[in-house]
Amino acid sequence: MSVTNFVKNLKVHKLDYKIKISVFRAIKDVDKCERYLKGHMQVMIDYNVMKITSYNKSWTMNPSAYVLIAENVKTGEMVGGIRVEVAKGLFPLPIETAIGAMDPRIYDVVKHYALNGGVGELCGLWNSKSIKGVGVSFFLTRAAIAIVEQLKVKTMIGICAEYTLKMFTDVGFEINTTLGNNGEFPYPDNRYITRSLGILNTQTLGTASAIDKELIIDLRKRPVQTRNEIGTKGEIEIEYDLILNDVDNSPYS
């Protein structure tokens, strides 16, 4: 039995609402970018975290920024989001801005991978309190790794806090111990320890867990689909629309 069929056979509580996860190129939809920013800001206010470099508006002008959003199908409320930003040499990746002053080696890391198969960053993940604990962050993260194939990016990097570390390692990220203090940085302030991460092969996903790898590959094979996902509060129906019709194919320079 495949992992996905095993999940389908689990007897769990079914949640009574539906989420749609879709993707768009940031420069092509100003309204959705503003809604994403508003939702992200509210989450940072709720948790008193205001110094995150991935929260700014510069990415809305970045032709190599792609946004995945989660919306409540019934109400239309945007309840979560995440971004994939690809290094092209024009805009710094958020991780460069976040830890560059603490460890300048990050600039060489980004350049190296940009010139060897391409590199992008998973960043700006948030979900609203209205769906806290449902698992939307997990679904968004898997979907974001799934669309990387369309962007022709071999390596993904990022930073994460302790409470999201397992989620990111499940989808294939590993701690980059060559940066900072064995991979750790005090960010966004001294209250938190953040880790630098990397997926060195987004095609094979050899470092991902078996279930996450299978679910991500299924999204790559069928980017438009509706399937039931298992979250921490039960089963939820997710409608995916992950086709990108407009991709920046310019080289790194």
pLDDT of residue 102: 95
- pLDDT per position in the chain (253 positions), as tens? 565 555 555 556 788 789 999 999 999 999 999 999 999 988 888 777 656 655 579 999 999 999 999 999 999 999 999 999 999 999 999 999 999 999 999 999 999 999 999 999 999 999 998 888 899 999 999 999 999 999 999 999 999 988 899 999 999 999 999 999 999 999 877 888 999 999 999 999 999 999 999 999 999 999 999 999 988 888 999 999 999 999 999 999 9
Alpha-carbon distances, residue 233 vs 61, 147, 163 (angstroms): 37, 26, 18
pLDDT at position 132: 85
Distance, CA of 83 to CA of 71 (rounded, Å):
15
Q: How far is CA 183 from CA 120, 158, 161, in A?
A: 18, 11, 12
Contacts of 91 (CB under 8 A, 6+ apart): 58, 59, 62, 64, 65, 85
What residue type is 158 in one-letter code?
G
Give me 55's structure tokens: 């929260």
pLDDT for the residue numbered 13? 76
DSSP sequence for 40-72: HHHHHHHHT----TT-SSGGGG-TTEEEEEEEE
Q: What is the CATH number of domain 3-241?
A: 3.40.630.30
Predicted confidence at residue 189, as pLDDT, reads: 78
CA neighbor of 85 nearest in space, from 40, 124, 116: 124
